[in-house]
């Protein structure tokens, strides 16, 4: 009896199988293309299942699977289960089956064939998405199995992708409504505009038509405010202007929004800093790299790295690219060229309405950042 899986689950599994079959991965370029000059051998992949840790040792012709557990100090403790060995080409065949499903079946859910299900049972894979508490999808040792393990996130352009910054109420920015003082019926009229893809922009434009002014005030969440201030003391204002532009002008890509911000210069900094030092691009790249390496809105960020040290990106052709913090400029440039602002759910994330706090009306905007599909 075949079972169903989400495309996101299958995208992670495809990437995992592709690495086991190939035993190597190419670093990606800023344009999300393969760096033809480099190839990094993958010697070992460690993955968490509901019943413990699995280590996949990539040998010349085979993949050797050792089951065990992760000790408190992070070391691997082999279990009593017998080691298993499978030809690497078996993982390649399974990867091709998954790739076919991802490319040719529409919808969010995919029915997995009995042949693929039987293979997953044979190699004892029960969790299609790895179970970890440190937000890594799996860890990799390059060059040699005794090399340090590096934690990775997986993103697959053939599937819906987890965002880099997942909106939510903690990622809201507050704009103060000034100018004309609005009476409660006027506020109700603004907030009553019907739901639509452009409802946030329509409310902002209506506020403006009625003589109101929306001016950046603060970050709604204390922890997220401090995290953004770690990038720059004025970074929240810059981010708020970008989100405002996204709603009003329909520009979503981060690099295009940053170019507009350079022209507007909301921080009123000198031309030399903007054009020679490339201040706005630099700050945005710092922010994106911090997000990729573990910054989250509701968790205190102090600049130290999390367990996530890199990203595997599977492109639309099924090619796996590697981005790692050891090449920070390439990683940051890739993120800058391949990310966009997205719209979170207005009701769920509680933004896009005039709300009163301590006698002042505020309008919240939500920050959500994801990778572009192509």
Do residue 222 and residue 147 come from a single domain?
A: no
Do residue 228 and residue 125 come from a single domain?
A: no
What pLDDT score does 2 carry? 66
Of 132, 156, 180, the residue at which a domain comes to its end is 156
Q: Is residue 255 a part of any domain in this protein? A: yes
| pLDDT at 1 > cutoff 80 | no
Q: How many domains does the chain have?
A: 2
Spatial contact of 87 and 61, defined as CB atoms under 8 Å apart: yes
Do residue 148 and residue 177 come from a single domain?
A: no
Q: Is residue 311 a part of any domain in this protein? A: no
Q: What's the rounded Cα separation, in Å, for the pair 298 and 172?
A: 11
Spatial contact of 245 and 341, defined as CB atoms under 8 Å apart: no
pLDDT 10s digits, 89-106:
999 999 999 999 999 888
Q: Which of 370, 367, 371 is nearest to 225 (CA)?
A: 367
Distance between start and end Cα atoms, the chain: 35
| pLDDT at 135 > cutoff 60 | yes
Print the SS3 string covering the chain. Answer: CCCEEEHHHHHHHHHHHHHHHHCEEEEECCCCCECCCCCEEEEEEEEEECCEEEEEEECCCEEEEEEEEECCCCCEEECCCCCEEEEHHHHHHHHHHHHHHHHHCCCCEEECCHHHHHHHHHCCCCCCCCCCCCCCCEEEEECCCCCCCEEEEEEECCCCCCCCECCCHHHEEEEEEEECCCCHHHHHHHHCCCCCCCHHHHHHHHHHHCCEEEEEEEECCHHHHHHHHHHCCCHHHHHHHHHHHHHHHCCCEHHHHHHHHHHHCCCCCCHHHHHHCCHHHHHHHHHHHHHHCCCECCECCCCCCCCEEEEEEECCCCCEEEEECCCHHHHHHHHHHCEEECCCCHHHHCCCCEEEECCEEEEEEECCEEECCC
pLDDT 10s digits, 219-270:
999 999 999 999 999 999 999 999 999 999 999 999 999 999 999 999 999 9
Residue 292: alpha-carbon gap to chain centroid: 6
Do residue 296 and residue 336 come from a single domain?
A: yes
What pLDDT score does 22 carry? 96
Q: What's the rounded Cα separation, in Å, for the pair 335 and 163?
A: 12
Q: What's the rounded Cα separation, in Å, for the pair 163 and 226?
A: 21
Q: Is residue 322 a part of any domain in this protein? A: no
Please report, rounded to a whole number, the percentage of residues in the chain having pLDDT higher than 90: 73
Do residue 86 and residue 187 come from a single domain?
A: no
Do residue 152 and residue 192 come from a single domain?
A: no
Q: Is residue 317 a part of any domain in this protein? A: no
Mean predicted confidence (pLDDT) in 315-322? 94
- Beta-bridge partners for 237: none
| pLDDT at 3 > cutoff 90 | no
Q: Is residue 161 a part of any domain in this protein? A: no
Do residue 127 and residue 197 come from a single domain?
A: no
Do residue 13 and residue 152 come from a single domain?
A: yes
Question: From the CA atom positions of the chain, what is the Rg in Å?
Answer: 23
Neighbours of 117 (CB within 10 A): 15
Q: What's the rounded Cα separation, in Å, for the pair 327 and 324?
A: 6
Spatial contact of 63 and 57, defined as CB atoms under 8 Å apart: yes
How confident is residue 40, by pLDDT bands cut at 50, 70 and 90? very high
Of 133, 156, 179, the residue at which a domain comes to its end is 156
Do residue 206 and residue 174 come from a single domain?
A: yes
Do residue 275 and residue 297 come from a single domain?
A: yes
| pTM listed for this prediction | 0.92
Of 156, 190, 225, the residue at which a domain comes to its end is 156
Do residue 92 and residue 176 come from a single domain?
A: no
Q: Is residue 341 a part of any domain in this protein? A: yes
Q: Is residue 345 a part of any domain in this protein? A: yes
Instruction: Identify the weakest region by mean pLDDT among 47-51, 100-104, 284-288, 303-307.
Output: 303-307
Spatial contact of 54 and 16, defined as CB atoms under 8 Å apart: no
What is the residue range of 356's domain?
169-301+328-371
Do residue 127 and residue 232 come from a single domain?
A: no
CA distances from 158 to 93, 135, 153 (A): 18, 21, 15
Q: Is residue 319 a part of any domain in this protein? A: no
């Amino acid at each position: 009896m075949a079972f169903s899986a989400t495309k996101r689950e299958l995208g992670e599994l495809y990437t995992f199988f592709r690495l086991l079959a190939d035993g190597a991965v190419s670093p990606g370029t800023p344009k999300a293309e393969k760096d033809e000059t480099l190839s990094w051998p993958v010697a070992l992949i460690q993955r968490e299942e509901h019943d413990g840790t699995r280590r996949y040792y990539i040998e010349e012709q085979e993949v050797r699977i050792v089951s065990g557990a992760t000790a408190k100090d992070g070391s691997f403790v082999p279990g009593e289960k017998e080691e298993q060995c499978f030809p690497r080409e078996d993982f390649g065949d399974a990867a091709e089956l998954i790739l076919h499903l991802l490319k040719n079946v529409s919808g969010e859910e995919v029915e997995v064939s009995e042949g693929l299900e039987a293979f997953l049972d044979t190699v004892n894979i029960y969790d299609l998405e790895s179970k970890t508490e440190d937000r890594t999808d799996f860890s990799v040792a390059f060059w040699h199995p005794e090399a340090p393990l590096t934690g990775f996130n997986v993103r697959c352009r053939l599937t819906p992708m987890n965002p880099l910054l997942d909106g939510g109420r903690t990622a809201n920015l507050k704009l103060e409504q000034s100018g004309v003082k609005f009476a409660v019926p006027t506020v109700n009229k603004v907030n009553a505009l019907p739901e639509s893809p452009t409802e946030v922009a329509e409310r902002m434009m209506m506020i403006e038509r009625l003589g109101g002014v929306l001016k950046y005030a603060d970050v709604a969440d204390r922890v997220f405010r401090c995290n953004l201030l770690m990038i720059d003391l004025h970074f929240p204002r810059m981010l708020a202007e970008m989100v405002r532009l996204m709603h009003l002008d329909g520009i979503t890509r981060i690099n295009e929004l940053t170019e507009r911000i350079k022209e507007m210069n909301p921080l009123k900094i000198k031309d030399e800093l903007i054009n020679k030092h490339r201040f706005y691009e630099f700050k945005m790249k710092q922010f994106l790299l911090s997000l990729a390496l573990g910054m989250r809105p509701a968790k205190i960020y102090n600049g130290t790295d999390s367990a996530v040290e890199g990203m595997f990106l599977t492109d639309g052709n099924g090619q796996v690219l590697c981005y790692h913090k050891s090449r920070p400029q390439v990683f940051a440039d890739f993120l800058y060229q391949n990310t966009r602002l997205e719209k979170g759910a207005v009701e769920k994330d509680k933004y896009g309405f005039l709300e009163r706090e301590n006698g002042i009306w505020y309008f919240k905007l939500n920050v959500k950042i994801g990778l572009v599909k192509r």
